[in-house]
Structure 1
């Protein structure tokens, strides 16, 4: 393993999406991440599609294999005290512990911060519960899709006079994972300076809510709740997605200034629109947005989306087609930058996954292997790392402490 976190070990008690997103960032940076999994209750996303060739299996989920690349996996039955003791031994050899169970679960297992700091006083531990460990909603059930409406995002999503809408993906999960990774890195830096570990109480809902700071500020300053506005935004016009030639083909166009709008009009062959009193300045365009969008879409309907992207970008206009999965996987730009990762997986072979979205000049990061099959690293962790003999491991397996 290489990267800025090479030599750092993570005791990973996460599952589903939010927690694994956090530990994936740490693995990308070179940390040795050990997932503690269970055969009694396998990670939920191990059971989710897509599966290669449509054949399900705990090791075949593209969903799981995307968010757990570069990690190890062991199998423990944490309902048994001996397994909890083994988990503590791993924590004692770790720098970081990450968990995103429902509030209180990790403490009931005997693996909360107060227990782990007894075996590793300077450990950094983060709990990524849905609503935090304090407050009247701390015990509420949480999934990423529930956090989106609670954060206020759904209220702002949709068209005027339509009901609130979901945003198309579970923003709460990956957003929480990214914020958790930032908090862990800051805590590691603090430990390096002071020698002190610490506990991080994180609310996944709050990590989504911070994306909507302007909505909260608008209310606290002005007492207002803006209406839903579809693809439109207050400080740009046009700002939308327009039909192009072909079936279900579209292009997004956003003009952030009058200069950019004039460039769009030139590309359309309609320079007169830039001088039209209805569209001359932003305030004019905002007041006649329906008419403006009608003019634009009458033109885009005759255009190929990707050819139009190139023409508009050449004139300094932000424009891009909404990409299909196939187009993303085959995208020349992403492939030439080395964004995609292809690693051999024991059950699904070589598959293309989204990789690391940053490039560091001095501390190169890498995905060192594909996501683990369930329990793939039992022998390494129990044998080499913890020093159990083959007879001890066989006994633990026979008693189903480990699997």
Structure 2
């Protein structure tokens, strides 16, 4: 009963200085919005890497060379614990805006042999159509929305270096998984022919990387060792890593993104803490009369502290909910991180990230009010009345 009364009194007190209450809450809203978006970047990449780990896939690339024959898959498929191997050809194409590169990946029908139960599974009828027409393609859900693509509607992508190297594709399936949200998978035979016509080069046996699926997680290390040992001292030596590690290496290659993002988040929190502490100090100063009256009427210090902390918590919570809700509404579908993640990664604000930001803001609002509230609660009533008079 006492808690409910304190809550009602705190709500009424917030309305006395409505402008200051709104401005303080808005400062929390802006800070929580920035905090949520910044934290979402490393969190999104961790989610993508975790999603990749579920697929039990290995990524094989060329070691100290650009030569990786697609025919290596013939030997890899014969190795113990290997469920499938698919050569993939990565192509940085552009569509409409030259500044926005699309990571298009040419694949063969072997791509289905490395897809696991945790991956997006194409409906049987779509899967049957994918390679009957070389123009058919599978497009990630985020990429579909970013580029305004529609299923069944042809679109043309081209090389940024050679306008003659163009491909016309027809989206047949939309892939919603985290790992494939910004990917474009198409029949590599279409690119093989286009490169041959444009440059006269035969790239049918070339691969940017090989995707290998293993039967169980405990066998991944042994398969990694066997693949690299099998092609050791060959013309195209290999370097094999789990798919999640390969994705993380993209981020590591351009710097410690996580440290940068979390450092900025700490700066944001410290800034808000100082602003909130100043606002809370002014709020408590205005409540000195009330504190003196309450103490003179016999209210314990704990009641005074609870009242003032409740008011601080409500202000911070209101602003935090607004800021987190705005971030969730703007970025719940995800946006591209561009060159930061090699064109494959993206940032999306998840409900769990927004909820975490609200909890952090609530803690900051309470922490900023501790010092002024404690000082006010410890002032004897006589001295408090003298301050007012």
- TM-score bin, normalised by smaller chain: under 0.3
Point out the structure with max Rg over C-alpha.
2
Which structure has more helix as a fraction of its residues? 2
- The answer to which structure, 1 or 2, has the higher relative contact order (CA under 8 A, 6+ apart) is 2
Q: What TM-score do you get using the length of structure 2 for normalisation?
A: 0.22
